[in-house]
């Protein structure tokens, strides 16, 4: 039991060290040597959990979405707005999210992209599908297509914010993203009730 707990802690330390190094150096430039050094564990322990940098990248991609629990309220479209603002705030400091972005953009140009966006698209698709069932969407909107578009647009907005202000203006840019896309997503009856700034902007974070 104690042994297992230690293994879980070691694995987490390695994953966080990898995220930290990838977030600073980039995915291609990050080395296993630096990740091992940063994790402060033995080389054997690292390779016990992750056989390669590729395996580490896949774990970062898979686990980056885990801490985020999408809100559930009467308006699933507002929940989606709030969720994307929650992720935007976390992107400023969460090493796994920051590493996930770098892995995403770098592997985009490789022979086998890791498709790191799938988990995000699945979360948004589920929320848009619920919104459709509640009559919040325009009839022509297909939840999965709309989610694919939205997640791609969010990635672009996020990269621009990183380049322009090191993500300081990301909440405003996410608000602008919703302002520009809600009229093409939301049914007229729902549109007036939605706050593109997110409800978290009105309550303590």
Do 65 and 123 contact (CB within 8 A), yes or no? yes
Distance CA 39, CA 37 (A): 6
Q: Is 94 helix (H, G, I), strand (E, B) or coil?
A: coil
162 binds a second copy (CB under 8 A): yes
Take residue 73 and report the two structure tokens written for it: 């309220």
The separation between CA 60 and the C-alpha centre of its own chain, rounded to angstroms, equals 11
Sole window of 4-12, 63-71, 81-89, 146-154 interacting with a second copy (rule: CB under 8 A): 146-154
Nearest distance in Å: CB 65, a second copy: 17
Q: Is 38 helix (H, G, I), strand (E, B) or coil?
A: helix
Interface pick for a second copy out of 60, 185, 190, 194 (rule CB under 8 A): 185
183 binds a second copy (CB under 8 A): yes
Residue with tokens 């080389």: 43
Binding characters for a second copy, 115-134, by CB under 8 A (x = yes): x-x-----------------
Under the rule (CB under 8 A), what is the footprint of a second copy? 26, 28-29, 102, 104-109, 113, 115, 117, 138, 145-146, 148-160, 162-164, 173, 176-177, 179-185
């Amino acid at each position: 039991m104690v042994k297992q707990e230690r293994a879980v802690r070691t694995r987490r330390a390695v994953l966080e060290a990898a995220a930290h190094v990838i977030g600073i150096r980039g995915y291609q430039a990050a080395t296993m040597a630096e990740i091992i050094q940063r994790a402060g564990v033995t080389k054997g322990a690292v390779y016990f959990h992750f056989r390669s940098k590729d395996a580490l990248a896949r774990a970062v991609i898979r686990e980056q979405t885990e801490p985020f629990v999408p809100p559930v309220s009467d308006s699933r479209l507002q929940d989606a707005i709030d969720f994307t603002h929650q992720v935007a705030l976390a992107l400023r400091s969460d090493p796994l999210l920051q590493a996930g972005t770098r892995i995403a953009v770098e592997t985009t140009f490789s022979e086998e992209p890791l498709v790191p966006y799938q988990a995000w698209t699945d979360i948004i698709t589920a929320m848009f599908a619920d919104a459709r069932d509640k009559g919040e969407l325009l009839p022509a909107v297909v939840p999965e297509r709309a989610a694919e578009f939205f997640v791609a647009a969010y990635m672009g907005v996020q990269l621009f914010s990183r380049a322009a202000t090191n993500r300081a203006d990301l909440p405003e840019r996410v608000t602008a993203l919703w302002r520009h896309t809600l009229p093409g997503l939301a049914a007229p009856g729902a549109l007036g009730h939605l706050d593109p700034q997110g409800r978290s902007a009105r309550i303590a974070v």
